[in-house]
Amino acid sequence: MYTIKGKTGDWELVIGLETHVEVHSQSKLFSGASADYNPAVKANTQVSFVDAAMPGMLPVLNRECVNQAVRFGLAINAEISRRSIFARKQYFYPDLPQGYQISQLPGVPPVVGRGYLEIIGDDGNPKKILIERAHLEQDAAKNKHDMSPTKSFVDLNRSGVALLEIVTFLDTKNSGHNSYITSPDEAEKYLRGVQEIVRALGVSNANMEEGSMRADVNVSVRPAGEKEFRNRTETKNMVSFKFIKNAIEFEAKRQIEIYESGGAVSQDTMRYDQNSGKTSVARSKEDALDYRYFPDPDLLPLVITDDEIEKIRAHLPELPAARRARYTSEFGLSEYDAARLTESADISKWFDVAMDGKKERAKLLANWIISELSAHPAHWSVTNTNHEHEPRQITPGDLRELVDMILAGDISGKIAKDIFIKMLDGETGTPREIAQRHNLKQNNDAGAIAAAVDSVLAANTAQVAEYKSGKLGMLGFFVGAVMKQTGGTANPKAVNEILKEKLK
Ligand code: ADP
Ligand code: MG
């Protein structure tokens, strides 16, 4: 268990994350304007009357955003509310022309209810981080303070784009450590887990640098073993894994110092300074009451039917975690290989096609993909499986054939590498055709290999004597010499066996 040492003893951390991901959709949550607000788009060109809050304009819910939320909910095994409502959260800020944000009320069912996301905890075991809710809400516009010395500007392109806010749960009745985040590392793993899922689902590109994934970080500390939770602070709008981890650590230490010097931590909203790595109090935390939440009278309750949910469930892609489990349990791959192969959906799709369901291929294929193919991204793709493409593509069928030739003993790994390089160099034809064209095949003829071994041993009597006096490491030298003599064609396994036999 992660703890921080203080003057009075060990302190444990309690961490709650509110993660916002920008929902991928053609248009905004309540208007038909394009949801593409990237900086290349001219400011204030993708703004409907709804986004600009013109009086009398009525919001209309975009069902695709709802489907995206449901998709995420199903992926985290959450309860999907059959009926939920939207509410107005009132505050003033220049980037909020409505004067309120349409969100979902705390305390009443959000579109996605209680679920969980599994991470590998600090102790190395799987840990289910409970998620309290995920709800839909509007993003704000963007203030621009750096365009003029005396004026500020507002770009409304982002105004009204859908956000999914995903909130981790803290069970106050059960203060055990097994259901929430307790260290900076676990926070990162959880966030990467969220990112991986929403990307795999096509719900969001969840890119922290671009701001399409942001997190509010709630931290409190308590002496190791204490039952009650203490006051927490909230550091808002964090957009880097590194800063989030730094902020958690700094904030925990700050709170510990306050307690140890006899003070009390107040429920504040903090700001994090990237340059100093420090958090400082921005304002005292507002209560839900301060926002004067009330149900938005312009919107009907959001009703989702069982049918709709089942339709979405039927089209969910296989998620990376399920894929990893399949690779380790069905194909016998290591956790490491499985993790590498599921880093991108493209690599795992490619691997699945190349495997064609035959378990024996798994280990070799995984090795080839991880150490060779992934180093040459221009030479493979999931969609392009055409040798005539420029640069020459290596197809799943190519690598499958190559691996099958190795498994059958037709070629050695060394020859396979030569063929692979020829393919990278643009040579056409399948690996088998290339092997034939260049007469690249493995020599499995025991008689011929034995003859090569004999001549190598005869030419290196001094080394033979060394080996026999106990320097068994010399074997590699002989193997190399035999391989050289046979032009790299001899079956290395046979060379090893015959050498050992003759050196007895
Ligand atoms: P709000 O909406 O006011 O920010 P919530 O009650 O929705 O507050 O909680 C926000 C996040 O803070 C949740 O992830 C929750 O688990 C977390 N949290 C609540 N209490 C604590 C605490 N004492 N220490 C750490 N995190 C907490
Ligand atoms: Mg909050």
The predicted-structure confidence for 450-462, as pLDDT tens digits, reads as follows 999 999 999 999 9
Gap from CA of 366 to ligand 1 centroid (Å): 42
The tens digit of pLDDT for each residue in 326-370 reads 999 999 999 999 999 998 888 999 999 999 999 999 999 999 999
Gap from CA of 218 to ligand 1 centroid (Å): 6
The tens digit of pLDDT for each residue in 261-277 reads 999 999 999 999 999 99
Q: Where residue 193 falls among pLDDT bands split at 50, 70, 90?
A: very high
Among residues 189, 53, 222, 20, the alpha carbon closest in space to that of 118 is found at: 189
Read off the pLDDT of each residue in 425-431 and give the average, rounded to a whole number. 94
Please work out whether the CB of residue 170 comes within 6 Å of at least one atom of ligand 1. yes
Please work out whether the CB of residue 494 comes within 6 Å of at least one atom of ligand 1. no
Testing ligand 1's pocket by substitution, the residue of 166, 218, 290 carrying the most ligand atoms inside 8 A of its CB is: 218
Q: Where residue 175 falls among pLDDT bands split at 50, 70, 90?
A: low
Please work out whether the CB of residue 221 comes within 6 Å of at least one atom of ligand 1. no
Gap from CA of 16 to ligand 1 centroid (Å): 6
- Give the pLDDT score at 486: 87
The tens digit of pLDDT for each residue in 409-422 reads 999 888 999 999 99
Please work out whether the CB of residue 167 comes within 6 Å of at least one atom of ligand 1. yes
Please report where in the chains the tokens 């015959």 appear, as a residue. Answer: 498
Average pLDDT for the chain: 94
Gap from CA of 247 to ligand 1 centroid (Å): 16
Q: Which ligand is nearest to the CA of 221?
A: 1
- Give the pLDDT score at 176: 72
Nearest C-alpha to atom 12 of ligand 1 is from which residue?
16
Q: Which ligand is nearest to the CA of 291?
A: 1
Gap from CA of 127 to ligand 1 centroid (Å): 19
- Give the pLDDT score at 410: 92
Q: Which ligand is nearest to the CA of 236?
A: 2
Please work out whether the CB of residue 406 comes within 6 Å of at least one atom of ligand 1. no
**Above 90 in pLDDT, residue 385?**
no
The tens digit of pLDDT for each residue in 109-132 reads 899 999 999 998 999 888 999 999
Please report where in the chains the tokens 């942001």 appear, as a residue. Answer: 214
More confident residue, 492 or 164: 164
The tens digit of pLDDT for each residue in 461-499 reads 999 999 999 999 999 999 999 999 988 888 888 999 999
- Give the pLDDT score at 489: 84
Structural contact between residues 478 and 457, judged by C-beta atoms closer than 8 angstroms: yes
Look up residue 288 and give its DSSP letter.
Answer: G
Q: Where residue 425 falls among pLDDT bands split at 50, 70, 90?
A: very high
Can the peptide bond before residue 391 be classed as cis, meaning omega within 30 degrees of 0?
A: yes
Read off the pLDDT of each residue in 130-138 and give the average, rounded to a whole number. 97
Alpha-carbon distance of 76 to 342, in angstroms, equals: 18
Kindly give the number of the ligand 1 atom that is closest to the alpha carbon of 17: 14
Look up residue 321 and give its DSSP letter.
Answer: H
- Give the pLDDT score at 354: 97
**Above 90 in pLDDT, residue 388?**
no
Q: Where residue 298 falls among pLDDT bands split at 50, 70, 90?
A: very high
Read off the pLDDT of each residue in 83-97 and give the average, rounded to a whole number. 95
Gap from CA of 122 to ligand 2 centroid (Å): 25
**Above 70 in pLDDT, residue 217?**
yes
Alpha-carbon distance of 229 to 175, in angstroms, equals: 7
Residues contacting residue 262 through CB under 8 Å, at least 6 positions apart: none
Alpha-carbon distance of 456 to 495, in angstroms, equals: 12
Q: C-alpha angle 49/51/52, rounded to 5°?
A: 65
Kindly give the number of the ligand 1 atom that is closest to the alpha carbon of 170: 16
Testing ligand 1's pocket by substitution, the residue of 20, 116, 167, 177 carrying the most ligand atoms inside 8 A of its CB is: 167
What CA–CA distances, in Å, run from 325 to 73, 125, 322, 331, 339? 21, 15, 5, 9, 10
Please give the radius of gyration of the chain, using alpha carbons only, rounded to the nearest integer: 30
Gap from CA of 239 to ligand 1 centroid (Å): 19
Gap from CA of 436 to ligand 2 centroid (Å): 66
Q: Which ligand is nearest to the CA of 287?
A: 1
Kindly give the number of the ligand 1 atom that is closest to the alpha carbon of 167: 14
Determine what percent of the chain is predicted with pLDDT higher than 70: 99
